[in-house]
Structure 1
Amino acid sequence: MKKNMRVTVLTHLSGLLAIAGVVPAGNAQSSVTLYGVADTFLEYSNHLRTAAGAASEGGSRVRLNSGGLAGSRWGLRGVEDLGGGVQAVFALESGFNIDAGTMGEAGRLFNRQAFMGLNTKGFGRLTFGRQYTSMFDLLPLFMPLTYAGAYEPMPFLMSPLRVDNAVKYRIERGPLAAQAHYGFGEQVGSWQGNASWGGGASYISGDLGLAAVYDQANGQDTATGSGRMRKVAVAATYAPGAWRLTAGYRWAEETIASGERKHRDDMWWAGVGYRLTPAFQMNAAFYYDDIKATDGSASPPNPRQYVLQGVYAVSKRTDLYGAVAYVRNAGLNFAALATLAPGARSQTGVALGIRHKF
């Protein structure tokens, strides 16, 4: 198979469609690309909660996992030139667990992305369907590990990652990229119930990059109101020569339908990366979350996580990687303490894996 398994349709598609009575005869140029990522890793972790009634209250585990650098997936991307600098585009992307061959989300085939829309030259892109939030799209270059599952607490940082029934607009002009999205909640009798929206911008020029973004997700609209989760993030990156420095801050607040605060926290992160050789990259990352008590009691201990990661490019498509993480006052990737053995307040993880892009 070729590198991207690109299937280019250079035949007169419009002529074939004209026979079917769909469009007038003419020339149309289209392409469909099959792409994907296969990523698996061996992982050791400790202080895990065991089943009720077990002889020990907690222990370590070695397992085969999926998605250490990037989530395993396959997808289809398509584009058709409509003329006048306008293109019709679509994407269908399905996540899977390569360790077990299961779907990334049961019952949802294209769980990662499913959208179509129009892309214009100079006027941006407008798409419709299941799509990533603005926060997800604008921050990957500003994160120390670029959303690596082992071990960047990305879901904690920006959940939800994707929105159903969404309209998204994105425009790029030189070093500036800006976008906004709105997800229809589709609740009968309420525009705001279950709806979500957000937007932001990034500026990357030379060695320096800056980003700012806002996301909001509403709960169901009830007689007492609608709960909501709001998040704001600002971040910066500086990459002189072989070095790459990243830092950022995320504010979050969750309220229930009555308007009472349910959760409030401030998350910080910083990272240092260095390319030792053209094929070998080392990254170090630190994440810290300042959790605010919402009921007048003392705030819980704040979680913090340290990560050291190495990535070696065997080829343009295949990488070998390793990562070591230590987290205090949480489980790995800021998982709740309830996932750990009773009395445990820290966890260590070690991952060795391989990623192949096709």
Structure 2
Amino acid sequence: MHSTSKLSMLAAGALAFTSCAMAQNVTMYGRVDVGLQNISNGTTRTGVDSGTYTASRLGFRGTEDLGGGLSALFFMEMGINVDKGEAAGGSRLFNRGSYVGLSSASAGTVTLGRQYVPIFWPFLFADDAGPLRLHGYSVVQSIQRSNLFKANSSALNTPVANGGLASASSGIYSVGITSGFENNLIVYKTPTMGGLTVSAAYGAPEGYADSAKVMGANAEYRQGDLYLGAGWNRKQGQVTGGTAPQKINESMVGGMYSVTKEFNVWGNVHGWDLEAGAVTGNKFKGHDAMVGVSYKLPTGQLWANYAAKSVNNCTDCGSRGFGVGYHHLLSKRTDVYASYGRVNNDNNSANSLNSFAPTTAGTAVRGIGVGIAHQF
């Protein structure tokens, strides 16, 4: 189905949602972000891009009071490439989440569908790169969450195989992150207990044909000016054309502290390992860490962060980078921004910046962007 047809159907659906909103609490919301970027990654490219700062999106969410402290809820969100006026999810309409659930103030919340795994939330809330967090130029997105690692296949010191979680293309072996959206998830979140919440998730493997077998958990603590979070995730897929498993384990701890009402410090430590599927029990291991600061002005926000990644079992496969940005707040919903980011790759590393990969391993990627973001 063409993107225009999808959006026409969505507009009709929006009218239907609006007409039933009197019976339940239904909200239509979104973000529209477009920026001008100049990227240097072995070549130079300048363009107008959607989601330079944060992904543009359109969503619907709602709740219904069922009585006795129980409520129903739903969430559906799609990505939009505003620069082209098209849906960003390909054949997947609500690519940024679609789930339904039940919530109880005393028993917690259960949701089923496509949604974030629990480890994502400590990454988000221990990042203050802009009012909407997780700026595209934040090193959380580039060094930590673009790939667990991406390197020349010839530099690997452990046998590997191609599969659903890690594979080689044009001589580059890529291990994808596990902390984005996952399909078929069942997520349970406890009520808040003295500032603490705990979440757990399980994703049905469904023959590995749709996503993969996923499970994870987190614990988050909020008290005054302090946020602390920890998360764990395991994802299992298969080697291409075989039955041998590929497995990724991730764990992280992160936090943010408001030193003053204007000044925040934040950071995390993130470790992982990959069973690559070629030889049972062989593993790649690695870790990365990030530190950041932000300062809120009367009409704006400054931020900067730095991260470094190291990879065992791979020669010269690490990377380091930083991001800096300023957001000028025109209103509570609209800001204009300028940002700069850089990823320095070791000789065999190929980490990207804001989805732009180096033309060859070992090449640094630099980007500068200016744009406008609006929420509704």
Q: Is the structural similarity TM-score above 0.5?
A: yes
- Kindly provide the CA deviation profile for residues 69-92 of structure 1, in whole angstroms up to 9, marking residues without a partner as x: 321100111211110011111111
Q: Please tell me the residue identity of whatever aligns with 1:239.
A: S
CA RMSD of aligned residues (A): 2.6
Q: Secondary structure at the match of 1:81?
A: strand
Please list, as runs of the form range in 1=range in 2, the aligned pairs for 1:62-211 lying within 5 A after superposition: 62-145=46-129, 146-151=133-138, 152-153=141-142, 154-156=145-147, 158-173=177-192, 174-187=194-207, 194-211=212-229
Contact 1:8–1:31 under 8 Å retained in 2: no
Q: 2:285 aligns with which of 264, 272, 275?
A: 264
Q: Unmatched 5+ residue regions in structure 1?
A: 12-28, 49-58
Task: Give the whole-Å Cα distance in 2 for the aligned partners of 1:172 and 1:240.
Answer: 28
Q: Distance in 1 between matches of 2:73 and 2:285?
A: 39
- 1:8 shift after superposition: 8.0
Which string of whole-angstrom CA distances, capped at 9 and with x for unpartnered residues, describes residues 280-327 of structure 1?
110011011011125xxxx21421111111111111111111111121
Q: Counterparts of 1:31 and 1:136 in 2: how far apart (Å)?
A: 27
User: Does the C-alpha gap of structure 1 residues 119 and 8 become closer, same or farther in structure 2, counting only changes over 3 Å?
Assistant: farther
1:8-67: CA deviations, max 9, x gaps? 8575xxxxxxxxxxxxxxxxx41211111101111001133xxxxxxxxxx311111111
TM-score of the two chains, using structure 2 as the length reference: 0.78
Mapped partners of 1:356, 1:270: distance in 2 = 27
Distance 1:261 1:219 in 2: 16
CA change 1:309–1:136 in 2 (3 A) is same
Give the 3-state SS of the residue equivalent to 2:120 in structure 1: helix
Instruction: Evaluate the alpha carbon distance shift between residue 197 and residue 239 of structure 1 in structure 2; reply closer, same or farther with a 3 A threshold.
Output: same
Measured against aligned partners, the alpha-carbon deviations of 1:180-239 in whole angstroms (never above 9, x if no partner) come to 111100129x9xx93101001111212222111101110138976421111000112111
Following superposition, the deviation at residue 344 of structure 1 comes to 5.8
d(CA) in 2 for partners of 1:47 and 1:327?
10
Whole-Å separation in 2 of the counterparts to 1:184 and 1:262: 24
> What SS does the corresponding residue of 1:187 show, helix, strand or coil?
helix
Q: Which consecutive unaligned segments of at least 5 residues does structure 2 have?
A: 1-14, 149-176
1:107 CA displacement? 0.3
TM-score, normalised on structure 1?
A: 0.81
**AA aligned opposite 1:309:** G
SS at match of 1:109: coil
Counterpart of 1:25 in structure 2 is none
Look up the SS of the partner of 1:119 in the other structure.
Answer: strand
Count residues with an aligned counterpart: 317
What corresponds to 1:314 in structure 2? 330
Contact persistence 2:122–2:253 (CA under 8 A): no
Structure index of larger Rg? 1
Greater length-normalized contact order (CA 8 Å, ≥ 6 residues apart):
2
Counterpart-to-counterpart distance in 2, 1:197 and 1:278: 42
The one-letter amino acid paired with 2:313 is A
How far apart, CA to CA, are the structure 1 residues paired with 2:354 and 2:271? 16
Name the structure 1 match of 2:7.
Answer: none
User: How many Å apart are 1:7 and its aligned residue?
Assistant: 4.4
Q: Is the 8 Å Cα contact of residues 8 and 30 (structure 1) preserved in structure 2? A: no
% of aligned pairs identical?
27
Q: Which AA in structure 1 matches 2:370?
A: L
| Aligned match of 1:43 | 37
Asked if the contact 1:144/1:285 (under 8 Å) is kept, the reply is: no
Query: In the alignment, what sits opposite 2:162?
Result: none
